Structure 1
Amino acid sequence: MPSAHDPLADFQFSPRYEVAVASRRGAGPLQRPENQDNFLVIDAAGAAAWLDNQEVRRAMVAGWPAGHGRVAVLDGMGGHGHGREAAEAVVAGLLAMPPCGTGEELARRLDALHAQLQQRFSFESGARPGTTLTMLELPAGGAPILYHVGDSRLYEIDAGHARPLTVDHVPATVAALSGRIDERDWWRQVHGGHTPQIAQAFILGNAFSRPSQLSDPLYELSERKLPSWLGGMADRRVLTLRPDALYLLATDGFWSCATPDGFVGGWPALLAGAPDAAAAVDRLFAAMEDAPPPGLQPDNLTALVLRPRLSPSDETALPSNALS
């Protein structure tokens, strides 16, 4: 069985997508004692892969409809205790959750899972764990549906740009929603630097409703709540994917450094010409090992690359190790 260190790429998403994913405790000599990240892939044939106790597990999802897919990355919050277990519990919930054809259905089922797991992880100490969740639901024949909680991210990467498609749920975003900081300050704080603070996580709850204390429900950053300069980046929305770009779902270990915007800005050149999704994942992890950004902090690393295919006929031109 492949380890979490190797890109998993034998998923059946044709003819629409190719997908590869990998997860590690970290990069370099200083690493976290365990990997509290997780991921989930359920492909169009119902074959699933995820981490259980930091090891890759695989299974077939019974009754999964042909052509539907689901991909997600999660970052368990170890600072609150039980971070790995929280991420694993959400993955288990996603494995049991029926496929969703609309954003409304997806949000309703995930809000219910959030409430259920809050009850499960309610401790007398009051220190509830949490996890980020950035996922794409891939209906057969339909557009991808994004659902996002926390500070993991979805990026669209083409030849010239690495563009974030999600808004980090961090204190700077709380300040932006209340008008206390402007666009320039928000981008500088969120993408020009990195702090481990978070304002919302799955299971944990949110600090958007009442910044002075955590509230139980999840707080959706909808179009009407976001400032105009973050328009089009709502947490829960349908996406249009470009065939000339690839899409990266990643945890924040990839930008936990002194100047994350500079490091992320090098991804288009790094990934240019990657023959398939697995090669793109390989290059991202190799960069973290061989040319890490200045000030890199020890953190877990999970990267999932999804690349749209131009048409079914293009499959015959893919390398032998590409998805089929």
Structure 2
Amino acid sequence: MPTAPPAIQAEFDFGAMYDVAAASLRGSGPVQRPENQDNFLVVDGQGHACHLLDQLPRHCRLPGWPAGHGRVAVLDGMGGHGHGREAAEALVTSLLTLPPCHGVADLGRRLDVLHAELQRHFAHDPGARPGTTLTLVELPPGAPPLLYHVGDSRLYEIGPEHAHSLTVDHVPATAEAMAGRIDERGWWRQVHGRHAPQIAQAFILGNAFGEPGRLSDPLLALTPLNLPSWLCHLPDRRVLRLRQGAVYLLATDGFWSCAAPDRFVSGWPALLQGATDARGMLARLFGSLEQAPPPGLHPDNLTALVLRPLAPAGLEADETALPDGARSEHS
């Protein structure tokens, strides 16, 4: 039986700056996960917030939220650990109370504190420690967006011809690349050329970058100091320079959990061509998985958020978000 179309949330007020839409599904096709452990968050410029609670959209208004400030995020609760959905919900709930941030250092410091607080919150639960990915974009008024990323959800830039990931997956292959044990081509094949569900770091869970198989409590920020040269332009915590004419997609890995992810993702520019708003783009992304799923698609939760810039703040007219050298094809 066809999956019911997602309930797309798009009634947000970002003024003349951004067009935003978000949606989340338990899955696509006849075989699906028993629950949706993903989540998302949208806080618009009027303090109207939307996220999932008990797997259903919840709307609320944040008192005292400054006009014009925005926040968007996607989260993927760790399905292989206990309380994955609860971990993602706990983080989203905490993000509703996180003060608006205007700098990368402030955003990173506050989220690192929140990570430690949530670790303590879940410390007495039986079983393995839960975790969740977090790919978050803070949208200060009149200033470029700020990125905070942990896990293997992604931020994509989708232009007329290409779709490029603007985040580095926190997976064992990245740890191998950081240690110099695999090169750029080998990393690309493992991360973007096939489906590999293992993760090396997640919010609340901690990180295994230092010693595979053993978790350390803190989060390890991937920076130009510890990333290989061919990834050092994509640190986890940075100012984003959005490109005119591009669309930005925050999504969980259900959208590329297939036999050849890079081939499937390469079709997104054509898929979105002609769609005039974020809602329409999101409908096409979800519809493609239902109507023409890629070979080897794994059953997984699906969460996506489209951010379409409308005005110049945070945009670069003559520069792309990635250097030319980082836009080469990896085949």
Matching residue of 1:49 = 50
Distance in 1 of aligned mates of 2:5 and 2:117: 28
Q: Does 1:268 align with 2:264?
A: no
- SS of 1:21 mapped into structure 2: strand
Shift of 1:311: 6.2
Structure 1 runs (4+) greater than 4 angstroms displaced: none
The amino acid that maps onto 2:51 is W
Matching residue of 2:203 = 202
Matching residue of 2:76 = 75
Distance in 1 of aligned mates of 2:143 and 2:311: 15
What TM-score does the superposition give when structure 2 sets the normalisation length? 0.92
Matching residue of 2:190 = 189
Q: Is the 8 A contact 2:146 2:239 kept in 1?
A: yes
- SS of 1:234 mapped into structure 2: coil
Distance in 2 of aligned mates of 1:45 and 1:4: 28
- SS of 2:16 mapped into structure 1: coil
Q: Is the 8 A contact 1:4 1:56 kept in 2?
A: no
- SS of 1:108 mapped into structure 2: helix
Shift of 1:194: 1.1
Shift of 1:13: 0.7
Distance in 1 of aligned mates of 2:312 and 2:172: 42
Distance in 2 of aligned mates of 1:28 and 1:102: 41
Distance in 2 of aligned mates of 1:178 and 1:164: 22
Distance in 1 of aligned mates of 2:5 and 2:237: 29
Matching residue of 1:105 = 106
The amino acid that maps onto 1:235 is D
Q: Is the 8 A contact 2:6 2:286 kept in 1?
A: no
Distance in 1 of aligned mates of 2:121 and 2:5: 27
Distance in 2 of aligned mates of 1:148 and 1:123: 26
The amino acid that maps onto 2:94 is G
Q: What does 1:231-310 align with in structure 2 at a 5 Å threshold?
A: 231-310=232-311
Q: Does 1:227 align with 2:228?
A: yes
Distance in 2 of aligned mates of 1:12 and 1:167: 30
Shift of 1:4: 8.9
Shift of 1:124: 6.2
- SS of 1:231 mapped into structure 2: coil
Which runs of 5 or more residues in structure 2 are unaligned?
314-331
Q: Deviations over 1:131-181 (max 9, x none)?
A: 000010000111000000000000000011000000000000000000000
Q: Deviations over 1:266-296 (max 9, x none)?
A: 0000011211000000000000000000000
Q: Is the 8 A contact 1:4 1:54 kept in 2?
A: no
Shift of 1:129: 0.3
Matching residue of 2:214 = 213
Shift of 1:182: 0.3
Q: Is the 8 A contact 2:167 2:234 kept in 1?
A: yes
Q: Does 1:167 align with 2:130?
A: no
- SS of 1:214 mapped into structure 2: coil
Distance in 2 of aligned mates of 1:216 and 1:4: 39
Which runs of 5 or more residues in structure 1 are unaligned?
313-324
The amino acid that maps onto 1:83 is G
Structure holding more helix per residue: 1
Matching residue of 2:19 = 18
Q: Deviations over 1:191-231 (max 9, x none)?
A: 00011100000000001122241000000001111111112
Matching residue of 1:92 = 93
Shift of 1:7: 1.2
The amino acid that maps onto 1:226 is L
Query: Percent of pairs identical after alignment?
Result: 66
What TM-score does the superposition give when structure 1 sets the normalisation length? 0.94
Matching residue of 2:59 = 58
- SS of 1:33 mapped into structure 2: coil
- SS of 2:196 mapped into structure 1: coil
The amino acid that maps onto 1:175 is E
Aligned residues: 310
Distance in 2 of aligned mates of 1:126 and 1:57: 29
- SS of 2:242 mapped into structure 1: coil
Distance in 1 of aligned mates of 2:136 and 2:155: 9
Distance in 1 of aligned mates of 2:174 and 2:220: 12
Q: Does 1:119 align with 2:120?
A: yes
Q: Is the 8 A contact 2:223 2:232 kept in 1?
A: no
The amino acid that maps onto 2:256 is W
Q: 1:199 to 1:283 in 2, by over 3 A?
A: same
- SS of 1:9 mapped into structure 2: coil
The amino acid that maps onto 2:26 is R
Q: Deviations over 1:76-100 (max 9, x none)?
A: 0021110000000000110011100
Q: Is the 8 A contact 1:75 1:132 kept in 2?
A: yes
